[in-house]
Amino acid sequence: MISSAFPLINQVIKEELGDDPAVRVVPHVKQGRPAKVLIEESEGADLLVVGNRGHGGFAGLVLGSVSQHVAAYAKCPVAVVR
């Protein structure tokens, strides 16, 4: 079951995972520096999934500073997806 508190996030989750995801999805919206917030949220998590830069060409071949920092310091496994 996905919470109705975050309509845009829920729409993306539904489009990607369907109406009844096989995994538990818990959307959170927090304010702050992205890497710091994600590292804090990784405490007690089973997996943290982040995107890479999202640019094409050469820039798309390297990790962004947030995903690189999170991958180095998160308290759980990190998956960086393109």
Q: What is the mean pLDDT of residues 20-28?
A: 83
- Amino acid identity, position 9: I
Task: Indicate if the pLDDT at residue 15 is higher than 80.
Answer: yes
Confidence of residue 57 (pLDDT cuts 50, 70, 90): low
Report pLDDT for 74: 98
**By C-alpha distance, which of 4, 71, 1, 70 is closest to 37?**
70
Judged by DSSP in three states, 3 sits in coil
- For residue 48, the number of C-alpha atoms closer than 13 Å in the C-beta half-sphere is 27
pLDDT, mean over the chain: 83
- Alpha helix ranges (H) inside 18-64: 34-42
